[in-house]
Amino acid sequence: MVTEGDDAPEFTAPLATGDIESFTLSERIEDGPIVLAFFPGAFTSVCTGEMRTFRDRIDEFAGEAAVYGVSTDPPFALNEFRDQEDLPFDLVSDVTGEVSEAYGVAMDLAGLDVPGVETGEASVAERAVFVVDGDGTVSYAWVGDHPGKEPDYDAVADAAEAA
């Protein structure tokens, strides 16, 4: 897993903005720190609650860091989720699972005993938050120890401000 002090793994992935664009980490950090909030799946109860909390607390990040949700859902689904939840930030579609793998937060669905899914066939992102400073260094890293655990939003806001 990526930890504090590590260089943030570079990636390019689809970005759900209401449309579908491209997100490249190194291009985005030129504008300042970034919060990458990984979540297992759009439209699920805990994930929806987490993204709503970031939505409701977005003013704490304004001027400090840009917030991006990251999920293995396809960009079309993320656009609908973004629209339904009125999210004021964009969502990165890690549809290949490569971003979750690079950050060490890919969770094998077979490990969750999902019917019909064999080991290594499909994965989702664990719930995790990384703050990446303007130099591309991870200044904050948190990974939930079970799927229902949410991050300490105050700690994330403090890390974003410090970055």
* Domain CATH code at residue 71: 3.40.30.10
50 within a domain of the structure (yes/no): yes
- What is the structure's pLDDT at 42? 94
Tens-digit pLDDT profile for residues 140-151: 999 987 767 889
Give the active site residues.
Answer: 47
CA–CA distances in Å: residue 74 to residues 41, 64, 78, 95: 10, 28, 6, 5
Mean pLDDT of 8-37: 96
81 within a domain of the structure (yes/no): yes
102 within a domain of the structure (yes/no): yes
Please state, rounded to an integer, the average pLDDT across all residues of the chain. 90
Number of domains in the chain: 1
- What is the structure's pLDDT at 59? 94
160 within a domain of the structure (yes/no): no
101 within a domain of the structure (yes/no): yes
Token couple for 51? 């993204």
Mean pLDDT of 32-43: 95
Tens-digit pLDDT profile for residues 44-61: 888 999 999 999 999 999
5 within a domain of the structure (yes/no): no
Please name the residues in contact with 156: beta carbons below 8 A apart, sequence gap of 6 or more: 35, 37, 129, 131, 140, 142
Q: What are the beta bridge partners of residue 91?
A: 16, 69
CB 137 within 8 A of CB 8: yes
Q: What is the DSSP letter of 8?
A: P
Distance (Å, whole) CA 124 – CA 59:
28
Tens-digit pLDDT profile for residues 80-136: 999 999 999 999 999 999 999 999 998 866 555 555 555 555 578 889 999 999 999
Q: What is the DSSP letter of 151?
A: P
Token couple for 34? 């970034």
pTM score: 0.91
112 within a domain of the structure (yes/no): yes
- What is the structure's pLDDT at 121? 53
Range of the domain at 142: 12-148
131 within a domain of the structure (yes/no): yes
Amino acid at 160: A
